[in-house]
Structure 1
Amino acid sequence: MTDSQNLLAEQRRALILDEVRRRGGVRVNELTRRLNVSDMTVRRDLDALARQGVLEKVHGGAVPVVEASTHEPGFEAKSGLELAAKEEIARAAAAMVVPGSAIALSGGTTTYAMAHHLVDVPELTVVTNSTRVADVFHAAQRAGVAGGGRSGAAMVVLTGGVRTPSDSLVGPVADQAIRSLHFDVLFLGVHGISAEAGLSTPNLGEAETNRRFIQSARRVVVIADHTKWGTVGLSSFATLDQVDTLVTDAGLSSRAREEMAELLPDLVVAGELEELPPPGDT
């Protein structure tokens, strides 16, 4: 399959998923008419989306996957989802980081992907509550020492706390550490984002720790792939007017883009801009 065919398939599947979530279900014959493709193509798309766990196939169509608002997938379960989208988002977000700045990275698989693009940014101070993110910088520094040293390597501050299924550290210890710090930019991964619920998570401890992160940041950049739009976890921890920038991927439907553009000061679709200026540049 060519790159253009892959892109068309991703766009079709994003539209299908958007319809399923918006309407609560779709039928195959409706999708074939709307997308002007064959019955077999639609069924392949539904199979692919079902394998990703984002919808459930039923006789003649598909419905949303109904998960409890308290359901929290583990890091390994999430790490295999939307890999291409997360990589695009990670590169775009990393391009926004200014050398010598103090940044915070929350837990999550997208911030983990982003950390790999930051190991060579000089003189960074990185505060994180993600053991996975901290390990990325630690491994890079250890490799640099073995290879003759890394000048300007990042200083990494890992908060303490109680470990979640996503390998994030949360709770009073993490909250107290974050409360005393101040960041130029927070890069925040999220479980869900919606117009009504804002940013949300199924983990109550993580919700409070994320609130602390937001309070300590001069600028808040949410990094979230298109599947997070419309997802709502147990606890909301921020409204959309607390977000300065959302970096997402090209899988986001046009309808969702229009809605986000109305609600957010800055929407960046990774892969659709040649170059992203650092925060504060004009």
Structure 2
Amino acid sequence: MLVTERRERILALVRERGTLPLSELASTLGVSDMTVRRDIDLLAEDGEVQKVRGGVRAIGAGRPVSGAATTSRSELRAIASAAADLVEPGMAIGISGGEAGLALAHELRGIADLTIVTNSLLVSDLFSPPSRSDAPYTQTVVLTGGVRTPSQSLVGPVAVRALEQLHCDLVFLDAHGLDVQAGLTTMNLLEAETYRAFMAMAREVIVLAEHSRWQVVGLTTIAELSDIDRLISDDALPADAAEQLRDHVGRLDVVAAGHSG
């Protein structure tokens, strides 16, 4: 089987099953675990899949969506690219769990001397040690402890305590939902506490939210919209939504993601 054929087969299997262990993929394809791991690394770099411990997950698996709205890869990449432009070498930044945070982490791997505080196992895995023992570490990762969620994030009192004594230049949060009345929301009570701890340690709080997050209301409120210093969304955000958000958040950045209007 050619390399391209094998990777197409991996993509098909992952999209069909959602999440697969590396050992099962290797057995199915008749190759070694190392070969599958290299394929997964490249597919993850291209944004085709998410790496998880001991396996691989389809993009978007386990993330709730509202109605027919789905997360567009082009939207995530545009938002993540705009967010990465705010990061400078030497900064300490926080990145929450979620697809937008993971997309941002991909954009940041080339920026040196970063300290990255995260509760995401997926984000942490991206910033792996150098492949050679004599090569320097270019980024430092601080991973919180906590209770693991289905999206491979760590939440709860242990995560909160880990964040309480830290200070970051910028904190980037993924949004489950945004609403004028409900504010920034999530479906997970422990995640809400952890997000508030992230916000407390930030000089600037930046929320990354595709247009489909607008008027989605989760189980619990994390913070009011006025607590958000900067919101980055894509150009499919309706004009009336943008007008309302500009009245509430510190700053709204709308980035081009191939949408018209």
Give TM-score, length-normalised by structure 2.
Answer: 0.71
Structure 1 residues 134-213: aligned runs within 5 Å: 134-138=124-128, 141-143=129-131, 145=132, 149=135, 151=136, 153-213=138-198
- Residues 201 and 234 of structure 1 are in contact (CA less than 8 Å); yes or no, is this contact kept in structure 2? yes
Larger Rg: 1
Which aligned segments of 4 or more residues in structure 1 are displaced greater than 3 angstroms? 77-80
Which is helix-richer, 1 or 2?
1
List gaps (5 residues or longer) in structure 1: 1-73, 273-282
Alpha-carbon distance in 2 for matches of 1:167, 1:250: 29
When the two chains are superposed, the root-mean-square deviation of aligned CA atoms in Å is: 1.9
Shift of 1:81: 2.7
Query: Structure 1, residues 222-280: CA drift from partner, whole Å, max 9, x if none?
Result: 001000010011110111111110001111011111111111221111238xxxxxxxx
Q: Secondary structure at the match of 2:82?
A: helix
Aligned ranges for residues 5-154 of structure 1 at < 5 Å? 76-78=61-63, 81-138=71-128, 141-143=129-131, 145=132, 149=135, 151=136, 153-154=138-139
Determine the C-alpha separation between the residues in 2 that align with 1:137 and 1:270.
Answer: 26
The aligned amino acid for 2:242 is R
CA distance in 2, matches of 1:99, 1:168: 25
Q: Deviations over 1:116-174 (max 9, x none)?
A: 11011111000000001101111xx444x38x72x461100000000112211001110
Greater Cα shift, 234-243 or 263-272: 263-272
Aligned to 1:221: 206
Considering Cα pairs closer than 8 Å and 6+ residues apart, tell me whether 1 or 2 has the greater RCO. Answer: 1
Return the alpha-carbon distance in structure 2 between the equivalents of residues 261 and 78 of structure 1: 27
CA distance in 1, matches of 2:81, 2:74: 11
Aligned partner of 1:256 among 236, 241, 244: 241
Unmatched segments (≥5 aa) in structure 2? 1-58, 65-69
- Identity across aligned pairs (percent)? 43
